[in-house]
């Protein structure tokens, strides 16, 4: 007789030791702790025909967004398919969803994972892969609603309930429902304080609302919950650095970058994305990070011709132009141009957003700021199509603002900066941009008032927390 997992979902194996090891690996996956891949490998050694074990390994490979893991993804899918009817319907559905991803149909894959949840709403693996997939596709409403669809079937009796709440909180945040997002995120953390995704959701709320002091306090006071033995810690460190950057604390941003965000030359795409994004923000502010760019570009170089996922590719180009490796930037763009002729999901993402952004980055590096404005103006309202969060995609708007300023398009720059300041009036950096554009336009009085507003907001939000800004 086949077994069920701890949430009541059927598994085809009769090996209880393999199921127990699967439970441990899944717990590590949804909590982003330690090494879930090593844990599921142990389960597969116990039972090589354990279909759900192969399903979990396939899900981990999908969430990596790395072409280098495609052989292992393919191996996992083939292992399930080779079992035939010995794998149950749920496991075969996982294999079909993963195969869609392997074939480049990212959107179809995410849809198939979502369909599994219609029959098995407590399938935590399908939910995590679908949720992360919605993030990769920039589907903000589905980040929220896919989780909402299964929530009635979950409660504290189901292992992993807090992780489901954390996912829902992030979806709520990405659709602008900040108060509810924070409430749900904090509820997730009350159940399980070491839920890194729940921490991440609350940090996103604070970032979007410009709550700099609270964001720093929240992340640093909970550091032991999310930073130890956690594969997602680099991204929460990135959020902490964003708060410090907003406050103008460049030295602390650099310290966080060197000690936490990029302490070693990792070639994990998700980690390199955050490194590129932070260095680009610093570069826009005129901070010299040349050596860091060089080291990062070296790590991106093996990915230069992949054109596997447009969001990654654009951040690779960012590193190449930051390091003045125009040869690599041109190669990456050429690979993206070739990808555009395809019909799969990434071809669309590349064609509509990724390639124009990469070309704009190259133009920015070459000082063709008017060209940057034209390219980014065309994509800024559809940028979600190539994935990421609002906080991550804000880099596009920041680059557009800087290009408008540098090309002396004062009226456009003033309008773009007004957008930012109206959305986040507590941001010192937005008021600094306001002062800059007012000064360029000759309105020195307004510039002085804007600088005064920037300093007032900086002191109000950051100075009282000065001594607890960094820990560890």
Report percent pLDDT > 90 for the chain.
92
The number of beta carbons lying within 10 Å of the beta carbon of residue 17 is: 13
27, 208, 236, 390, 396 from 381: Cα distances, Å:
37, 17, 26, 11, 10
pLDDT band at 360 (very low <50, low <70, confident <90, very high): very high
pLDDT at position 1 is 58
Residue 2 has pLDDT above 80, yes or no: no
Residue 470 has pLDDT above 50, yes or no: no
Per-residue pLDDT of 148-191, as tens digits, reads 999 999 999 999 999 999 999 999 999 999 999 999 999 999 99
Per-residue pLDDT of 327-348, as tens digits, reads 999 999 999 999 999 999 999 9
Per-residue pLDDT of 8-64, as tens digits, reads 999 999 999 999 999 999 999 999 999 999 999 999 998 999 999 999 999 999 999
32, 206, 258, 265, 349 from 233: Cα distances, Å:
9, 17, 14, 16, 27
DSSP 102-157: HTT-HHHHHHHHHHHHHH-TT-HHHHHHHHHHHHHHT-HHHHHHHHHHHGGG--TT
Residue-range domains of the chain with CATH: 14-138 (1.25.40.10), 262-385 (no CATH), 393-468 (1.25.40)
pLDDT at position 251 is 97
198, 236, 393, 401 from 382: Cα distances, Å:
27, 26, 11, 17
Question: What is the separation of C-alpha 452 from the centre of its chain, rounded to a whole number of angstroms?
Answer: 34
| Average pLDDT taken over every residue of the chain | 95
Contact yes or no for 290/279 (Cβ under 8 A): no
77, 94, 132 from 114: Cα distances, Å:
18, 10, 11
Sign of CA dihedral 188, 57, 390, 300: positive
Residue 103 has pLDDT above 70, yes or no: yes
Tell whether pTM > 0.85: yes
- Report the half-sphere exposure of 64 (CA within 13 A, side-chain side): 21
Contact yes or no for 98/51 (Cβ under 8 A): no
pLDDT at position 467 is 40
- Average of per-residue pLDDT across 396-400: 98
pLDDT band at 434 (very low <50, low <70, confident <90, very high): very high
Per-residue pLDDT of 215-240, as tens digits, reads 999 999 999 999 999 999 999 999 99
Contact yes or no for 372/363 (Cβ under 8 A): yes
Distance CA 86, CA 101 (A): 23
pLDDT at position 463 is 54
Question: What is the separation of C-alpha 361 from the centre of its chain, rounded to a whole number of angstroms?
Answer: 20
Per-residue pLDDT of 444-469, as tens digits, reads 998 898 889 888 887 777 554 444 33
């Amino acid at each position: 007789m086949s077994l069920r997992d701890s949430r009541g979902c059927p598994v085809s194996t009769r090996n209880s030791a393999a199921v127990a090891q699967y439970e441990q690996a899944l717990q590590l996956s949804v909590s982003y702790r330690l090494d879930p891949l090593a844990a599921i490998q142990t389960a597969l050694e116990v039972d090589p025909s354990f279909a759900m074990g192969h399903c979990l390994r396939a899900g981990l490979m999908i969430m990596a967004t790395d072409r280098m893991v495609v052989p292992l993804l393919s191996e996992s899918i083939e292992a399930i398919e080779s079992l035939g009817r010995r794998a149950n319907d749920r496991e075969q559905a996982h294999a079909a969803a993963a195969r869609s991803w392997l074939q480049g149909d990212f959107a179809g894959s995410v849809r198939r994972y979502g369909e599994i949840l219609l029959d098995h709403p407590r399938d935590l693996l399908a939910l995590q892969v679908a949720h992360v997939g919605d993030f990769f596709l920039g589907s903000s409403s589905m980040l929220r609603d896919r989780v909402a669809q299964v929530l009635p079937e979950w409660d504290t009796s189901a292992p992993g309930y807090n992780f489901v709440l954390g996912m829902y909180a992030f979806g709520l945040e990405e659709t602008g429902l900040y108060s509810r997002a924070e409430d749900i995120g904090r509820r997730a953390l009350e159940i399980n304080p070491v839920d890194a995704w729940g921490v991440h959701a609350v940090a996103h709320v604070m970032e979007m609302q410009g709550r700099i002091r609270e964001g720093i306090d929240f992340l640093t006071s909970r550091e032991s919950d999310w930073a130890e033995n956690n594969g997602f810690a680099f991204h929460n460190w990135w959020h902490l650095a964003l708060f410090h950057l907003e406050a103008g604390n460049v030295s602390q941003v650099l310290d966080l970058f060197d000690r936490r965000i990029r302490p070693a030359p990792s070639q994990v795409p998700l980690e390199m994305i955050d490194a590129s994004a932070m260095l680009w923000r610093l570069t826009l502010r005129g901070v010299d990070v040349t050596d860091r760019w060089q080291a990062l570009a070296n790590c991106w170089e093996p990915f230069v011709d992949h054109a596997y996922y447009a969001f990654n590719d654009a951040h690779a180009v960012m590193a190449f132009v930051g390091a003045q490796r125009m040869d690599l930037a041109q190669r990456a763009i050429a690979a993206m141009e070739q990808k555009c002729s395809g019909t799969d999901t990434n071809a669309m993402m590349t064609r509509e957003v990724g390639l124009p952004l990469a070309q704009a980055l190259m133009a920015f590096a070459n000082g063709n700021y008017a060209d940057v404005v034209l390219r980014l103006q065309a994509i800024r309202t559809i940028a979600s199509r190539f994935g990421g969060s609002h906080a991550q995609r804000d880099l596009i708007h920041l680059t557009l603002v800087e290009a408008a300023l540098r090309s002396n398009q004062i009226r456009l720059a003033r309008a773009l900066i007004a957008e930012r300041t109206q959305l986040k009036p507590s941001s010192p950096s937005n008021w600094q941009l306001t002062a800059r554009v007012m000064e360029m336009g000759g309105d020195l009085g307004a510039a002085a008032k804007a600088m005064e507003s920037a300093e007032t907001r900086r002191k109000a939000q950051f100075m009282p927390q000065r001594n607890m800004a960094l820990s560890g």
